[in-house]
Structures are given as C-alpha cells and as structure tokens.
Amino acid sequence: RSSENWRALKELEKAAEVYWKAKERLPPRVSFPTPQRHHHHHHFFLMCTVKVDMNIEKDLAYALRAKECPQILFLRGNKMVYRETKLRSCDELVLMIAHFYYNAKRPSFLDP
C-alpha cells in the first residue's frame, strides 16, 4: 500500500503544479480569482494540498472518516465535496480540481 500512497501523492503534486504554473493562462471558468477588496477584507482563493499520515494523525483521520488509503478529499471551506479512493492520474486530478473548484464540467469517469 505504501507504493500506492506514494504514487497518489506524486500525481496530486503534479496536478497542483499544473494549476500553479498555468494560473495566468487558464480559461475563465477555471481561472484563479484575483484578490478583491470588500469592506476592507481581502478574499483570496488558496488551493493547497495536505498530506495526512493516518497512523500519526489518528484523531484527524477519524474526524475525516478516512478508513483506507490512499484517499484524496476535496474540501471547500469546512465541507467535503468529494472523497476519491481510486488511484487517479495527474490528468484526471486536474479535471477533478477544475470541476470541484472552478465549476468545470463533471469528468465522465467520476461516480455520480
């Protein structure tokens, strides 16, 4: 399982890098919002990836209902929008990120 975990992490890192490198060239529906002022507050979109070791972060894994690994959880604020338990390629993850965070079309390979 550790090789699957490593592969899942590497694919996710590559997918995140695609967005960071291309953020100025993405089409409007998947572009990064620019910081905006609203009542003296700054609103930023932050895409980050966090690796959680279920053996060490047992309370967090329990709270997230993570029973198996690897898993990729797509969160928006404090709400989970999707739990992926299949090993996905970088290209698939890029499409998933576009869907869950930028309102792009739902990839056909995702469960409904």
The Cβ of residue 8 has, within 10 Å, a number of other Cβ atoms equal to 21
Alpha-carbon gap, residue 112 to 96, rounded angstroms: 13
Three-class SS state of 18: helix
Alpha-carbon gap, residue 80 to 16, rounded angstroms: 18
Three-class SS state of 17: helix
The pTM is what?
Answer: 0.72
| Structural domain contains residue 67 | yes
Q: How confident is the model at residue 92 (pLDDT cuts 50, 70, 90)?
A: very high
Q: Domain span at residue 76?
A: 2-102
42-79: per-residue pLDDT in tens? 334 446 667 778 888 888 888 888 877 788 888 887 78
CATH assignment of the domain containing 38 = 3.40.30
| Structural domain contains residue 108 | no
Number of domains forming the structure of the chain: 1
| Structural domain contains residue 109 | no
**Looking at residue 38, what is its pLDDT?**
42
1-44: per-residue pLDDT in tens? 678 888 988 888 898 888 777 766 655 444 444 444 444 443 34
